[in-house]
Amino acid sequence: MPALRDALLPLALFVLGTVELAFSGLPSWGVGVPCEAVACALLVLRRRTPLVVAPLVGWALTAAELVEPKLEEPAAPLAIIVVACYACARYRADLWGIAAVAALLTSAIPRYAFIEETNDITDVFFIGALLIPPFVFGRVARKLDEQTTLLEAQQAVIQEQAAHDERARIARELHDVIAHSISAMVVQTTVAQDLVGSDPARAGEVLEGVAATGRRALAETARLLHLVRDDADELGLEPVPGLADLDRLVAGGDVELRRVGDLGDLPAAVDVSAYRICQEAVTNARRYGRGTLSLEVARQNGAVHIHASNTVGSTVSEGGGLGLLGMAERAAVLGGQLTHTVADGRFELDAVLPVVEP
């Protein structure tokens, strides 16, 4: 669990700091315990808000020294600051982490303004020199992580290309299998035609061979198709969906579906395209929207009209709208059109698919 992972290191630092204070023999050492507890609690958020955590950690630890100056001697607070500094570089891609580290250093100024000690401002530079290595290490760790991610993405592209090439090879083999089988069936059928009049029994045997060749070709084709495609729906093992399947599509309680007119007996291309457009609208609403999707499918004026509307969520789509672009192309092939807009916080989709009556 991410939350537990983020809390383990701060918890360990707090335990270490508490033990160090307890055995330090310093006066008022108990003041440092709650201050270190606050600083360690802030570290739990270091991955999400490092720019805020780093300065607050510095001020929390400085508060203890303002109460008891000798509390600057323990080493655990320095380890806490090092972790906060590392987080500013590790979990931020920009250079605002430098400003956060500078803000962290300003937390040491009140100590020199209100505590009468032999310390001077050069200690600030000393602390700054201690913080440079963890900051640099954080930047290096982030770059290494980005390179690892890039390498994994490149490896995925290479694997996808290899799979594409293999599918192309299988497709060529599939073509050869079908071509050979059809050629054999044509020859056998021609022989059977010649034998029908003179030797019907022999002609029947030849036709049985034609049927056997056809069955073998179908079996081999199915086997190769399973290698080329792994989607049962694409293989034709599942029925082609249509508007009759809308109830199953919208199941889940987050879609208000309204039908208008007779949606039965539609041309197959219009029926499946209308379903796919509805499927895309439902998918987008559940992934990027919030609230309830209003979906209306109507057959009127010689066309199927689809209207979908939902509130836009805070999640930003990372798909580039390719699904909607594909649906627009599907509608255009049928002589229709698909449009979508975002206005006043709502996503609106409208599609019109003409129905050519037989």
Domain ranges in the chain are 2-119, 243-354
The pLDDT value recorded for residue 314 is 59
Q: Which two tokens stand for residue 163?
A: 């799979």
Whether pLDDT at 43 is above 80: yes
Q: What is the mean pLDDT of the chain?
A: 79
Residues 287, 256: Cα–Cα separation, whole Å: 17
Mean pLDDT of 136-148: 88
Q: Domain 243-354 falls in which CATH fold? A: Heat Shock Protein 90 (3.30.565)
Whether pLDDT at 167 is above 80: no
Mean pLDDT of 129-135: 83
Q: Which two tokens stand for residue 119?
A: 């310390």
- pLDDT by residue (tens digit) across 6-20? 888 888 888 888 888
62: CB partners within 8 A, 6+ apart? 107, 108, 110, 111
CA distances from 23 to 15, 17, 77, 89, 217 (A): 12, 10, 15, 33, 84
CA distances from 326 to 296, 321, 338, 339 (A): 20, 9, 10, 12
DSSP secondary structure letter of residue 115: -
Residues 204, 182: Cα–Cα separation, whole Å: 19
The pLDDT value recorded for residue 231 is 46
How would residue 236 be classed by pLDDT, with cut points 50, 70 and 90?
A: very low
- pLDDT by residue (tens digit) across 333-356? 888 999 998 888 889 999 999 987
The pLDDT value recorded for residue 234 is 44
